[in-house]
A and B are shown apart, each in its own frame.
Chain A
Amino acid sequence: MFETIIGLEIHVELKTRTKLFCGCSTGFGDPPNHNICPVCAGMPGALPALNEEAVRLAIRAGRALSCRINPVSSFDRKSYFYPDLPKSYQITQHQIPICEGGYLDLEDPDNSPEKGLYRRIAIERIHLEEDAAKLIHPEDRPVTLVDYNRAGIPLIEIVTRPELTSPEDAAAFLKELKAILEYLGVSDCRMEQGSLRCDVNISVRKTGSRKPGTKVEIKNMNSFREIQKALEYEQERQKKLFLSNRSHEIISETRMWDSRQGITKPMRFKDEGRHYRFFPEPDLPPIDLRSSRTLSWLEENLPELPGQKRERFVKQYGLSSYEAGILTGSRALADYFEEVTAYGVRPGDASNWIITELLRLWKPSEDRGSPVRSRSLAQLIRLIDEGRISRNAAKEVLNDMHAAGREPMDIIMQKNLIQVSGQDEIAELVEAVMADNTDAVQEYKAGKSKVFGFLMGQIMKAGRGRVNPNIAGKILEERLKG
């Protein structure tokens, strides 16, 4: 039927303290035009000086993606006039990028041996460049505001070969890439803050057709979900045009994703035919990695990467690959899981509690650790294991632990949530519930066994979740029969 080919261009802000060519802070959320200086504001006579940390991070990313690191790479000027560009040119790497020719392996969702465990997506290049300023278009006024805080923040642009074959693949690729970059400490990869931005190219053609499909670029997606949705929409749009014999209407263009309507639209202002007048940057020497000091950057130990960690989690902890996938989604989360198990919690229990309960409350990231300490979660799980509290009560305790950062025992004592396991005490509760629900009891006796569940619920409710459900169940059964 149809084949889809997708290529990605991903801009990632590097996690450096200062900008690429000056000493200004890269802090996010500072007042507009606060972190600027003559260099990043493009004042006359100001000259760039390269931030070595950015080079080091770019090399880390390149190595993790199995790229060739060019021993000598250089900067070029990309010229165009726009208010977000203080010098009217962007300093980027055009001719010789720092990294070339890598790949990223995507785990096959089916994981079937005959299809191979992985699909390899080739990466064409990674290059260093400076970010442009941020343009703000206030809705209430007909003006455009410019915030130069972002101008000069170091970026790497990662360009894939057009080898992704579906919107799901594109999303999976981005997820994996984001995890890798986070693990490496290369970037925060926060799409909502713009520290990861992605332009996509998509083309669709009839299966077997020799002619390549027409390439359409889509911009303006703010999450991986939106990227997938935009690609799905665009794929469908192009297929429909093929099916209605209007494939000539597919033209090479840049389209904007409109998240409100869920559609892609042609850009109002086309910037095609723009000539960037690339030109070697005379103000910066080439990046030469052949000195003994910089050579060591090429040999630095890389941390365990998500794929490796996932494999280990499956092997070492007996987790499913689904669970391992979620737990290795970020380095902070993976570390958290391993800490909880280190306190003696069974890996399966730790995985369950983290995935089904904790992740409801906490979105893991490098600098926002879980407010529930790993030691406290281990303690809570142990209390359930020992039968001291019920699972339901434990959920309530976890909520409080998250909200107030308190220890589980404190909350349990204060709220009196210790599980009631005494036979007499529970029997009393069961009888009281039966007395209050004589109708239900009658129904049960008449053969409606479903009512058992309702009665159990009433008992748990009366015991405010503290009743040991096993014991209560046994007693209820006895009494109903007796």
Chain B
Amino acid sequence: MKSQNMMSNNVGEMTISELAEGYRYRHFSIRETVRHYLERIAKLDEGLGTFITVCKETALREAEKLDEGLSRGGDIGLLGGIPLVVADNICTRGIRTTCASRALEDFVPSYDAAAVERLKAAGALIIGKTGLNEFAIGASTEGTAHQAACFFGNLRKGSRAYGDLTCGSAAALAAGFAPLALSSGTRGAVTLSAAFYGLVGLKPTCGAVSRYGLIPFTSTLDQIGLMARDTRDCALAFQIIRNNVNTSDTEELSKGVEGLRIGIPKELTECIREQNQELAAAIHKAIRIYERLGAEVGEMSLPPADGCLSAYEIIASAEAGSNLARYDGMHYGYCSDMPPDEAEHNLNEMIIRSRTESFGMEVKRCIILGTYVLSTEHGAACLRKAVQVRRRVQNAWKEAFRHCDLMLLPVLSDSNGFSVTDGYAMMMDMAGIPAVTVPCGFSSSALPIGLQLAADHYKEGRLLRAAYSLEQELALTGFRPVWKEADRFV
């Protein structure tokens, strides 16, 4: 069968638009498509470890229902039959949501996160829940219940992953397990890890997408984001999950960039020029393209903020300490195995044991720091200072966007340790502004290179339009090699 061959060859590479077209013209059914994805996961994920839970039965059942709807000529929604991966810190009704923690190892929410609800209502079907650092905290999964880290090394051969917490989702997309991921992140987790795997990643404005159902790590910095294979898919999904629906972003995409003022932060580009020739060249190429398309590109000053990393750590730990207090073993989640009469008489002991046994080291470190911040004079002074730093960062970016409509930044995705682009990603989180990553080529060692665009609050439309223009000019669509590497691990 022609359709069968076509599918098995490239299902993993397909975009949402391509799948939707295939469904519409009956090139393949939703059920067989989902089956292909599931088979691919079964075959490859053991070596990658991107999933914590694969939703085989429910996905197939949903697919069947959607196929029926389709055959009756019904409207199956903008994302009808599109497989979706959801990071395991985002609640999914009836599907175990663990946050990669022992504290929630058996937790099955009775509710969907607001964004999940919207995507499901548009016809998307959840194919699985992807791994992350425990509660999205810290930089490694060491010592946590779910050691989801293996894909770091496997997909990118020893190089360090950025925006670690989304790696499960990003790696799942890269490995061709789904065309769309709903994920979350701070410290640029969505945008940086999308760049790392050659995907398009969108981190919306803080407040543009409801956080309801995203299990909080740091409430004021957490943000739900999206990853997809191209800008059009990302825009489509964003249109569905965002709070205010005024304009159609997908229609706006082709409006071009003529007249837009694009700023290049010179402190960052100078630094990159020294560290990474290929990335510097990619930026240069992008600048030329934008200029050719009628945008006005110019360098501007936006120095990295002093103390940004410390401020981030202080704010995040204070909030995390408070947010994670509810995992006391009394209401749900992990409870220490204590004789009932002993627990009865020593409630505090039971809470201490439950928390000691269920949290990993990184989480404990964060809670202890947070408790220090909130219960000592010195800690409180640190927190006040951190909030000041954040305000300064917000003002700096506000000021920058008075002189330009967009900011173009490189993403350094191939160094070890904290890099200068991490710092800028963190600043963007602190400022609460939207950002998008676009793949813009490959390095000499055939690894993806990504660029990042940032805009002022609620300017996602402008952001996606510029990303789309660049993507069209670079014509990289259709060339998605990363997932193919996944086959080598079988």
Residue numbers of A with Cβ under 8 A of B are 38, 41-47, 77, 79, 81, 83, 86-89, 142-144, 275, 277-279, 282-283
Closest 7 CB pairs of A and B: A88-B325, A282-B219, A277-B374, A44-B215, A45-B213, A45-B215, A45-B91
Q: Which residues of B contact A83 (CB under 8 A)?
A: 330, 347
Q: Which residues of A contact B219 (CB under 8 A)?
A: 282-283
CB B10 to nearest CB in A, in angstroms, measures 36
Contacts between the two chains (Cβ within 8 Å), count = 75
A46 to B214, CA, bound (A): 8
* B218 to A, closest residue via Cβ: A282
CB pair B344 A43 closer than 8 Å:
no
Q: Which residues of B contact A142 (CB under 8 A)?
A: 341, 344
**Interface bits B46-87 vs A (CB < 8 Å: 1, else 0):** 000000000000000000000000000000000000000000
Query: Does B111 count as interface, using CB distance less than 8 angstroms?
Result: yes
Chain B residues 72 to 122 lying within 8 A of chain A, measured CB to CB, are 90-91, 97, 99, 104, 107, 109-111, 113
| 25 intermolecular pairs with C-beta atoms under 8 Å apart | A38-B109, A38-B110, A43-B110, A44-B97, A44-B215, A44-B326, A45-B90, A45-B91, A45-B212, A45-B213, A81-B347, A83-B330, A88-B325, A88-B328, A89-B325, A89-B326, A144-B344, A275-B375, A277-B321, A277-B322, A277-B371, A279-B322, A282-B220, A282-B319, A283-B219
A277 to B211, CA, bound (A): 24
Query: Does B311 count as interface, using CB distance less than 8 angstroms?
Result: no
CB pair B212 A79 closer than 8 Å:
no
**Interface bits B315-347 vs A (CB < 8 Å: 1, else 0):** 000110110011110111000000001001001
CB pair B326 A42 closer than 8 Å:
yes
Main secondary structure of the interface of A (DSSP, over half): loop
Q: Which residues of A contact B90 (CB under 8 A)?
A: 45
Query: Does B472 count as interface, using CB distance less than 8 angstroms?
Result: no
CB pair A43 B325 closer than 8 Å:
no
* A86 to B, closest residue via Cβ: B331
Q: Which residues of A contact B434 (CB under 8 A)?
A: none
Contact of A38 among B99, B111, B210 (CB under 8 A): B111
A143 to B318, CA, bound (A): 34
Identify which of B321, B344, B374 gathers the most chain A CB atoms within 10 Å of its CB.
Answer: B374
Q: Which residues of B contact A275 (CB under 8 A)?
A: 375
CB B168 to nearest CB in A, in angstroms, measures 17
A283 to B211, CA, bound (A): 9
CB pair A277 B326 closer than 8 Å:
no
Query: Does B216 count as interface, using CB distance less than 8 angstroms?
Result: yes
Q: Which residues of A contact B213 (CB under 8 A)?
A: 45-46
Chain B residues 238 to 279 lying within 8 A of chain A, measured CB to CB, are none
Query: Does B351 count as interface, using CB distance less than 8 angstroms?
Result: yes
A47 to B351, CA, bound (A): 23
CB A103 to nearest CB in B, in angstroms, measures 33
A89 to B97, CA, bound (A): 23
**Interface bits B137-180 vs A (CB < 8 Å: 1, else 0):** 00000000000000000000000000000000000000000000
CB pair B348 A81 closer than 8 Å:
yes
CB pair A43 B375 closer than 8 Å:
no
Say whether, besides A81-B351, A142-B344, A47 and B211 are in contact (CB < 8 Å).
yes
Q: Which residues of B contact A79 (CB under 8 A)?
A: 322, 325, 374
* A88 to B, closest residue via Cβ: B325
A79 to B371, CA, bound (A): 10
CB A92 to nearest CB in B, in angstroms, measures 13
Having A79-B374, A277-B374, one finds 6 other A-B pairs with CB under 8 Å, namely: A44-B109, A44-B216, A44-B327, A47-B210, A83-B347, A279-B318
CB pair A81 B211 closer than 8 Å:
no
A83 to B326, CA, bound (A): 10
Q: Which residues of A contact B325 (CB under 8 A)?
A: 79, 81, 87-89
Q: Which residues of B contact A81 (CB under 8 A)?
A: 325, 328, 347-348, 351
* A148 to B, closest residue via Cβ: B331
CB A197 to nearest CB in B, in angstroms, measures 23
CB pair A44 B91 closer than 8 Å:
yes
Q: Which residues of B contact A46 (CB under 8 A)?
A: 111, 212-213
* B103 to A, closest residue via Cβ: A44
Q: Which residues of A contact B97 (CB under 8 A)?
A: 44
Say whether, besides A81-B348, A83-B347, A277-B371, A45 and B330 are in contact (CB < 8 Å).
no
A41 to B214, CA, bound (A): 16
* A87 to B, closest residue via Cβ: B326
Identify which of B110, B113, B220, B331 gathers the most chain A CB atoms within 10 Å of its CB.
Answer: B331
A142 to B344, CA, bound (A): 8
Q: Which residues of B contact A283 (CB under 8 A)?
A: 216, 219
Chain B residues 202 to 234 lying within 8 A of chain A, measured CB to CB, are 210-216, 219-220
CB B155 to nearest CB in A, in angstroms, measures 28
Identify which of B111, B113, B326 gathers the most chain A CB atoms within 10 Å of its CB.
Answer: B326
* B321 to A, closest residue via Cβ: A277
Q: Which residues of A contact B374 (CB under 8 A)?
A: 79, 277-279
CB A264 to nearest CB in B, in angstroms, measures 25
CB A224 to nearest CB in B, in angstroms, measures 33
* B220 to A, closest residue via Cβ: A282
CB A460 to nearest CB in B, in angstroms, measures 66
Q: Which residues of A contact B341 (CB under 8 A)?
A: 142
CB pair B347 A43 closer than 8 Å:
no
Q: Which residues of A contact B331 (CB under 8 A)?
A: 41-42, 86
Say whether, besides A38-B109, A44-B91, A88 and B344 are in contact (CB < 8 Å).
no
Contact of A45 among B216, B344, B348 (CB under 8 A): B216
Chain B residues 291 to 320 lying within 8 A of chain A, measured CB to CB, are 318-319
Q: Which residues of B contact A47 (CB under 8 A)?
A: 210-212
A43 to B215, CA, bound (A): 9
CB B252 to nearest CB in A, in angstroms, measures 29
CB pair A44 B371 closer than 8 Å:
no
* A83 to B, closest residue via Cβ: B330
A272 to B348, CA, bound (A): 15
Q: Which residues of A contact B220 (CB under 8 A)?
A: 282
Contact of B344 among A77, A143, A282 (CB under 8 A): A143
Q: Which residues of B contact A43 (CB under 8 A)?
A: 109-111, 332
CB pair B347 A44 closer than 8 Å:
no
CB B52 to nearest CB in A, in angstroms, measures 15
A159 to B206, CA, bound (A): 37
A20 to B19, CA, bound (A): 45
Q: Which residues of B contact A89 (CB under 8 A)?
A: 322, 325-326
CB A273 to nearest CB in B, in angstroms, measures 12
Q: Which residues of A contact B347 (CB under 8 A)?
A: 81, 83
CB A347 to nearest CB in B, in angstroms, measures 58
* B376 to A, closest residue via Cβ: A275
A282 to B323, CA, bound (A): 10
Say whether, besides A79-B322, A83-B330, A44 and B104 are in contact (CB < 8 Å).
yes
A312 to B371, CA, bound (A): 57
Q: Which residues of A contact B327 (CB under 8 A)?
A: 44
CB B384 to nearest CB in A, in angstroms, measures 11
CB B417 to nearest CB in A, in angstroms, measures 30
CB pair A86 B326 closer than 8 Å:
yes
* B114 to A, closest residue via Cβ: A47
Q: Which residues of B contact A41 (CB under 8 A)?
A: 331
Q: Which residues of A contact B211 (CB under 8 A)?
A: 47
CB B35 to nearest CB in A, in angstroms, measures 31
Q: Which residues of B contact A44 (CB under 8 A)?
A: 91, 97, 99, 104, 107, 109, 215-216, 326-327
A87 to B325, CA, bound (A): 7
CB B118 to nearest CB in A, in angstroms, measures 15
CB pair B113 A45 closer than 8 Å:
yes
A79 to B321, CA, bound (A): 10
CB B103 to nearest CB in A, in angstroms, measures 9
Identify which of A38, A42, A81 gathers the most chain B CB atoms within 10 Å of its CB.
Answer: A81
